[in-house]
Structure 1
Amino acid sequence: MNTLQYRFDGPEDAPVLILGPSLGTTWHMWDLTTQEPIGAPMTGRTDSVQTLGTATVAGRMIAVTGSNDGTTRLWDLAGCEEIGEPFTGHHLQMVTEAAGIPVAVTTSDGGVGVWDLTASTR
């Protein structure tokens, strides 16, 4: 596994582990209490997932993935599906909060970008 993220507040407040592959484009969420996968595997990447972060936006848990294909994508973890269009030309470095707002920090040839995850804008 190349990327992973641990959360205490998964579905039904279960502790979850989100795993991204070291090779391939499919990644999974696991309930650590039952040791069973949660939902369907998440697909849609065109290259391997290199960076993974999570945040809570408007009460829902999301994941943010960065890939070698130069895209940063948002995922609804409850529905195991992609949210909106990817940020292109950017490489995800981390997910954090700035002034209480969840943000994705990306890099590109043009410098550093900070994306407001509540509005999907830079």
Structure 2
Amino acid sequence: MTASLRDPRMGQGMDTRSWDVHAGPIYCLATGVLDGKTVITSGGADSTVRVWDLATCQPLGQPYTGHRGEVVAVTLADLDGRLVVVSAGEDGSVHVRNLATGQPVGAPFTCGERIGCLAVSAG
């Protein structure tokens, strides 16, 4: 699936950037700042979460795997001073990964039912 981004600062005649992101539909996006770069995380029908440098439209690292179904929700959060990506999906699991390293933070949570949305609160 190809994604397109528009720079709202450009007004009319906006700059549009497109790149191939997922094998299938993209269901969710979240943005954040990692090491001074604005990044986008995306989740899709291919059961992966991907991280992109917004300025270059280049992937940062390998896709995150582990879901056994479509990823339908992603969000970013601060966890003990580190930025994490939280993803949920059709398989009823919630995965947490360190955004800087891509490594899992603990074991996935499971509930046995499709999870369609996420919210994170600083606490």
- TM-score, scaled relative to structure 2: 0.71
- Which aligned runs of 4 or more in structure 1 are off by greater than 4 angstroms? none
Q: Please give the alpha-carbon distance, in whole angstroms, between the structure 1 residues aligned to 2:64 and 2:108.
A: 15
Higher relative contact order (CA 8 A, sep 6+): 2
Q: Which one has a bigger Cα radius of gyration?
A: 2
The structural deviation recorded for 1:92 is 5.8
Superimposed CA distance per residue, residues 51-96 of structure 1 (whole angstroms, 9 cap, x where no aligned partner): 1111011221101111111111111111112221111116363223
Q: Within the alignment, does 1:4 sit opposite 2:15 as a pair?
A: no
The number of residue pairs the alignment matches comes to: 96
Superimposed CA distance per residue, residues 1-38 of structure 1 (whole angstroms, 9 cap, x where no aligned partner): 1111011x21x2100011111x1112210011222111
Show the 5 A alignment for 1:76-115: 76-89=98-111, 91=115, 93-97=117-121, 100-101=122-123
Alpha-carbon contact 2:88-2:118 (below 8 Å) kept:
no
Relative to structure 1, is the Cα distance of residues 92 and 84 closer, same or farther in structure 2, using a 3 angstrom cutoff? farther
Q: Please give the alpha-carbon distance, in whole angstroms, between the structure 1 residues aligned to 2:54 and 2:73.
A: 21
Q: Within the alignment, does 1:75 sit opposite 2:97 as a pair?
A: yes
| Structure 2 segments unaligned to the other structure (5+ residues) | 1-25
Identify, as 1 or 2, the structure richer in strand.
1
Alpha-carbon contact 1:16-1:32 (below 8 Å) kept:
yes
Task: State the partner residue of 2:40.
Answer: 17
2:87 is aligned, of 42, 57, 65, to 65
Task: State the partner residue of 1:48.
Answer: 70
